[in-house]
Amino acid sequence: MSSVLYDNPGPRAKRRNVLYTVGFLAVLAVLAWWVLSALADKGQLDADKWSPFVTDVRVWTTYLLPGLVETLKAAALSILIALPLGALLGIGRLSDHRWVRVPVGTVVEFFRAIPVLLLMMFASAVYAQFTPVSSDFRPLYAVVTGLVLYNASVIAEVVRAGVLSLPRGQGDAAVALGMRKGQTMLYVLLPQAVTVMLPALVSQLVVIVKDTALGGALLGFPELLSQNRQITANYGANTIATFTVIALIFIAVNFALTTLAGWLERRLRQGRKTAGVTESAVTKTGEAPAEAVSGA
Amino acid sequence: MFDFLDSGQYDLLGAFWVTAQLALYSAIGSLIWGTALAAMRVSPVPLMRSFGTAYVNFVRNTPLTVVIVACSLVLDQTLGVTLGGSDFKEIGFRLAILGLVAYTGTFVCEALRSGINTVPPGQAEAARALGLSFFQVLTLVVLPQAFRAAVTPLANVLIALTKNTTVAAAISAAEAAFLMKEMIENEAQALFTVFAIFAFGFIVLTLPTGLALGWAAKRLAVKR
């Protein structure tokens, strides 16, 4: 589409593009110079602030890798619990019975409207007051609880959209074969919906990984971000270097997940002709499709 | 049950007012920054395109918490950037807006690009045939239609932004989540009431936005 917006550049347009490139490069260079000189002023570019990440293996084994493990542990636990719960809620919202559909819908909408951070703080306080969970594990419990409550409701919506995107004939055919409602859902609709919604689910994993950092900043969960305090305390106030490395690790993990989601989507689109799965409901009303939810 | 609210110790409305301000200023800022990013990503200048793509891919994959905490620890405490704020709450507020704009801009950019994709190629081709330049094609023909098509994804971004303002509690901006943390610690016996109040507050903030923009999306969508 983007190439439709402008003609193939002729001689004049080429010259103009070169001019724009040089101008933009100048702006970027000024910005970079301004940032670097500010960093140099505060001594943040000194080699000894950056070298521990390359020379000292203990930065990785004591702080960064254990932090990453905590992050991934919380993310994995959350998705493993949220998936079945979300599927149940999603199916519940599609129920023929009003007394199931309405309460489930209320629960889903409630947890989707509330910031994850509030859920985490509330869960942490509840665990502290009413359960014997030791304070060592409380942050992990609180983070996972908050993430499960929020993401189960998001997954419920993904499941619902996936099932609704299937052609009516699939459900009708299953009913015509004499299947019960549960069988129709379990053997006919859900397996097809899962393939449609797989990319959206992997994208949701990115949101979960990112949200674990909330627990590190506010609940004392020892995940990747929270390691910055110890590293900067032990390696001479190398705040910039530490944040750069931590951010890059997060970006690498999430970029891998995003790439996986994109690859799955392409695979599924190719396989669709033969697998008998139809394309997801594309809006034809001139509205852009709603993208994956942008979490914290 | 609600007596701790009457004590005047907690400024509930004030905290939600800060949340609303954070959301409003960040929304305006990220709309501008996101539009600029989207324009870069579809521009004929390769360097701008690659800068836009790189920025979006890097920032979108960084947790917002990292962005906001970095704003405080890196910009304020290491480099001394305070954005003209005087006390730490004000500095936190301003830096939080900066972080939210930098982060949310990427999602606005992607929403707008999906909006641009719904504009039929014939529109841009006709505009080019009239002799309009890239900038004119974009601002006069494509973007107005793209915005109308992108109301729904933009509304989702706005709602996510409103909820994301709570992350500013990590750098002591005096918004709702920060007050809730304080109240949970001091009023442990009224834990459920406190949670219900703040949950209600956020539902009040997000639900009407969703409904109003959902209505607007139907009204504004270009009928094709």
Percent of chain A that is helix, strand, coil (3-state, to 5): 80, 0, 20
pLDDT at A268: 81
Residue A280 has pLDDT above 50, yes or no: no
pLDDT under 70: residue ranges of chain B: 1-3, 5-7
Domain containing B70 — which CATH number? Answer: 1.10.3720.10
Residues 62-101 of A with CB under 8 A from B: none
Closest CA to B199 of A150, A207, A247, A58: A150
pLDDT at A10: 85
What ipTM did this prediction achieve? 0.90
CB distance A14 to A202 below 8 Å: no
Q: Are A218 and B57 within 8 A, CB to CB? A: no
Question: What is the DSSP code string of B69-130?
Answer: HHIIIIIIIIT---TT--SHHHHHHHHHHHHHHHHHHHHHHHHHHHHHHHS-HHHHHHHHHT
User: Where residue A81 falls among pLDDT bands split at 50, 70, 90?
Assistant: very high
Ranking A253-257, A290-294, B19-23, B194-198 by mean pLDDT, the lowest is A290-294
Q: Would you kindly state where each structural domain of chain A is located, as residue ranges?
A: 2-33, 53-275
pLDDT at A198: 87
User: Where residue A276 falls among pLDDT bands split at 50, 70, 90?
Assistant: very low
- Cβ contacts of A17 on chain B, cutoff 8 Å: 44-46
Angle between helices A65-93 and A98-113 (to 10 degrees): 150
Contacts of B101 (CB under 8 A, 6+ apart): B26, B29, B30, B33
Residues 219-248 of A with CB under 8 A from B: 225, 228, 237, 239-240, 243, 246-247
Ranking A62-66, A174-178, A267-271 by mean pLDDT, the lowest is A267-271
pLDDT at A284: 40
Alpha helices in chain B (DSSP H): 3-6, 12-41, 46-60, 64-70, 88-118, 121-129, 134-136, 143-149, 151-164, 176-186, 191-220
Element of type H or E holding A29: helix A11-41
Rounded-to-integer distance, Cα B138 and Cα B88, Å? 42
| Residue B3 covered by a domain | no
Nearest CB to B79 within list A17, A42, A126: A42
For residues A171 and A279, which has the higher predicted lDDT (pLDDT)?
A: A171
Taking the CA of residue B6 and the nearest CA in chain A, the distance in Å comes to 22
- What value does the mean pLDDT take over residues A177-190? 92
| Residue B149 covered by a domain | yes
- What value does the mean pLDDT take over residues A165-169? 91
- What value does the mean pLDDT take over residues A97-122? 94
pLDDT at A277: 44
pLDDT at A196: 84
| Residue B63 covered by a domain | yes
Residue A2 has pLDDT above 70, yes or no: no
Q: Chain A residue with minimal CA distance to B105?
A: A294
pLDDT at B54: 95
Alpha helices in A177-220 (DSSP H): 181-183, 190-218
- What value does the mean pLDDT take over residues A38-52? 83
Class for the domain spanning A53-275: mainly alpha
Integer angstrom CA distances of residue B215 from A164, B209, B220: 22, 10, 9
The amino acid sitting at A17 is: N
| Residue B124 covered by a domain | yes
pLDDT at B2: 66
Give percent of chain A above pLDDT 70: 91
Q: Are B46 and A287 within 8 A, CB to CB? A: no
Residue A99 has pLDDT above 90, yes or no: yes
Quick: pLDDT tens for B177-218.
999 988 988 888 889 999 999 999 999 999 888 889 989 988
Dihedral angle, C-alpha A98, A101, A102, A104, nearest 10 °: 150
Quick: pLDDT tens for B8-30.
778 889 999 999 999 999 999 99
Residues 255-284 of A with CB under 8 A from B: 255, 258
Element of type H or E holding A144: helix A138-164
CB distance B203 to B160 below 8 Å: no
* Domain coverage including residue B203: 11-220
Closest CA to A226 of A40, A46, A48, A74: A74
- What value does the mean pLDDT take over residues A6-12? 85
| Residue B5 covered by a domain | no
| Residue B153 covered by a domain | yes
CB distance B22 to B93 below 8 Å: yes
Residue A8 has pLDDT above 70, yes or no: yes
Total count of domains within chain B: 1
Nearest CB to A295 within list B128, B160, B195: B160
Q: Are A286 and B58 within 8 A, CB to CB? A: no
Residue A152 has pLDDT above 90, yes or no: yes
Q: Can you give the pTM of this predicted structure?
A: 0.89
Cβ-based neighbour number of residue A290 at 10 Å: 18
Mean pLDDT across chain A? 87
- What value does the mean pLDDT take over residues A224-232? 89
